């Protein structure tokens, strides 16, 4: 299914997340949620840049004005790459200081899907949101999650996938052209070690799921059957993203969170940004319509 996995940037993120391919600038972006950092580098790992965030940052998403939008603890913000400033865009869950945001995805219509979760990872206060652009409120589309992850959408834009990490399940929803979702159903019950985390869909409609604590990325066919896996030299894999000119280069974030000192010594590259080549290309990265 793929070439050898290697570490592109040994950044040692506490909780790396949100791998994102920027085709315009030919860069890969990602965040360190617990480290409150944004990272960016060239596709070969060069020209590395990092910025501090004012609070835990769950994800980044490109916008159609050429900028970036991110999820901080109290809502959505524009991120200004040139000076590292964060400009408020939409308040979301500002009244829930125990929550934070964890993962996001932009669909082909330019809508942002993202999830919230309990920062203490014990209460089912998390929700799945849809944000249609500046001036619009973020709409809660589903609820009852402790840890949300991985909004991802099928190539024909009719199915939305969403992860309930602690329940070790991935659900599918029917997605309408207006952004409405219905028909929630179980798509995958995770088996084996670890918990399902962030994910991405390839051009054939197969779902690539990072496994936190599982040392791997799993690949599922459109019927929810596991067909392959990619093994990593560290346990906590958090999010894959397809990139490169042919969309066959996979980038994946990882985490040191939850590892003992002995684990960290045994997994010196944990928290790094990894990459490998895939036989099947991914889907283009869309931009949030502002």
Cα separation, 198 vs 190, whole angstroms: 13
Query: Is-contact 90 137, C-beta < 8 A?
Result: yes
Cβ count within 10 A of residue 42: 14
Active-site residue flag, 197: yes
Cα separation, 247 vs 228, whole angstroms: 19
Query: Is-contact 229 216, C-beta < 8 A?
Result: yes
Sign of CA pseudo-dihedral 10, 14, 17, 22? negative
Cα separation, 185 vs 197, whole angstroms: 18
Calculate the CA 169 to chain-centre distance: 16
Among the residues of the chain, which ranges form H helices? 261-266
Q: Which of 118, 132, 142, 197 is catalytic?
A: 197
Query: Is-contact 62 287, C-beta < 8 A?
Result: yes
Q: Which of 172, 198, 71 is nearest to 131 (CA)?
A: 71
Cα separation, 208 vs 216, whole angstroms: 10
Cα separation, 103 vs 116, whole angstroms: 8
* Contact partners, residue 190, CB within 8 Å, separation at least 6: 168, 169, 170, 196, 209, 211
Residues assigned a catalytic role? 197
């Amino acid at each position: 299914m793929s070439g050898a996995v290697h570490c592109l940037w040994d950044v040692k993120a506490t909780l790396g997340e949100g791998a994102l391919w920027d085709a315009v600038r030919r860069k890969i972006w990602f965040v360190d949620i617990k480290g409150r950092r944004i990272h960016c580098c060239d596709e070969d790992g060069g020209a590395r840049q990092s910025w501090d965030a004012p609070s835990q940052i769950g994800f980044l998403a490109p916008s159609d004005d050429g900028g970036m939008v991110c999820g901080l603890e109290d809502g959505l913000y524009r991120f200004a790459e040139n000076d590292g400033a964060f400009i408020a865009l939409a308040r979301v869950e500002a009244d829930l200081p125990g929550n934070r945001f964890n993962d996001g995805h932009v669909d082909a219509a330019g809508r942002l899907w993202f999830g919230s979760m309990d920062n203490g990872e014990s209460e089912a206060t998390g929700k799945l949101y849809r944000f249609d652009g500046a001036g619009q409120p973020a709409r809660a589309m589903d609820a009852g999650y402790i840890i949300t992850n991985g909004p991802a959408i099928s190539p024909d834009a009719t199915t939305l996938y969403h992860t309930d990490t602690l329940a070790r399940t991935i659900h599918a929803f029917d997605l309408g052209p207006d952004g409405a979702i219905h028909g929630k159903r179980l798509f995958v019950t995770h088996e084996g070690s670890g918990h399902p985390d962030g994910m991405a869909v390839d051009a054939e409609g197969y779902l690539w799921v990072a496994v936190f604590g599982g040392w791997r990325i799993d690949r599922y066919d459109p019927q929810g059957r596991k067909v392959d896996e990619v093994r990593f030299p560290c346990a906590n894999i958090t999010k894959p993203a397809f990139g490169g000119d042919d969309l066959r280069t996979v980038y994946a974030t990882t985490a040191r969170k939850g590892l003992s000192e002995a684990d960290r010594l045994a997994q010196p590259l944990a928290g790094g940004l990894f990459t490998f080549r895939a036989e099947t290309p991914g889907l283009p990265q869309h931009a949030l319509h502002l």
